[in-house]
């Protein structure tokens, strides 16, 4: 089946990964690398991170719960210290690829986010929020976990996007920086691209769509 839609994750795809900011935070404080990812991966469907991304708790409760969970794993980190790390730097070449895809296909965005900062990208400044809003305006449809009460990798969130775009999953390409989020999409029949580097992702997107984006 030919490509009809390209669906994008936001953080770690159209922007640099928040994991890079997590690692800088850890290095500055002598905390083991990827410790914060380990906190988020422990009890992944019901921990503070999951609850916050589904908008089941507020910022104050996330602050407390993340502190409890991180302390239990050996290093005390308040949730309030995590939130400013979530907004990555925009990747202009990937945004240009999004523009090229929009000219040829339907485009959608599925983002796991939380109600912090400004806008879907959780920006810490109005300039950044406006830049992210301009990117979001390019999509035919956007699904934010914090608004729909579902988060990746719940298969229902991918089905919602296919329904909104009126496309068969087998006619979709999906990009995400997390393998766990790609598995349900792949199981539905989507062509998946794990974003590890900007150049690698654009090369794979070009191969999948035939568009000159690399």
* Residues in a beta bridge with 143: 110
pTM of the model: 0.89
214 part of a folded domain: no
Query: 95 is written with which tokens?
Result: 């945004």
Query: Which domain does 92 fall in, by range?
Result: 5-17+88-209
Distance CA 209, CA 8 (A): 14
Last residue of a domain, one of 27, 57, 85: 85
- 89: nearest Cα among 13, 23, 25: 13
Task: Report the domain count for the chain.
Answer: 2
Reported as a single tens digit per residue, the pLDDT across 79-137 is: 999 998 988 899 999 999 999 999 999 999 999 988 875 666 555 567 778 888 999 99
CATH number assigned to the domain comprising residue 34:
1.10.150
- 197: nearest Cα among 21, 20, 34, 26: 20
Same domain, 105 and 36: no
Last residue of a domain, one of 59, 85, 111: 85
Same domain, 95 and 40: no
Residues of the chain with pLDDT under 50: none
Same domain, 12 and 29: no
Number of H helices, E strands in the chain: 11, 5
């Amino acid at each position: 089946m030919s490509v009809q839609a390209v669906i994008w994750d936001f953080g770690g795809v159209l922007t640099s990964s928040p994991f890079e900011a997590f690692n800088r935070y850890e290095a500055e404080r002598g905390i083991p690398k990827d410790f914060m990812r380990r906190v988020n991966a422990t009890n992944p469907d019901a921990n503070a991170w999951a609850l916050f991304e589904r908008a089941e708790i507020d910022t104050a409760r996330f602050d407390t719960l993340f502190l409890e969970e991180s302390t239990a794993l050996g290093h005390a980190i308040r949730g309030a210290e995590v939130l400013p790390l979530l907004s990555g730097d925009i990747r202009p070449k990937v945004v240009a690829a999004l523009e090229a895809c929009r000219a040829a296909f339907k485009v959608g965005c599925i983002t796991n986010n939380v109600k912090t900062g400004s806008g879907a990208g959780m920006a810490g400044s109005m300039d950044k929020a406006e830049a992210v809003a301009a990117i979001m305006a390019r999509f035919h449809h956007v699904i934010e976990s914090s608004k729909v009460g579902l988060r990746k990798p719940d298969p229902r969130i991918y089905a919602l996007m296919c329904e909104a775009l009126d496309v068969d999953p087998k006619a979709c390409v999906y990009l995400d920086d997390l393998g766990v989020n790609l598995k349900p999409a792949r199981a539905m029949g989507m062509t998946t691209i794990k974003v590890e580097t900007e150049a690698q992702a654009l090369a794979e997107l070009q191969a999948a769509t035939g568009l000159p984006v690399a």
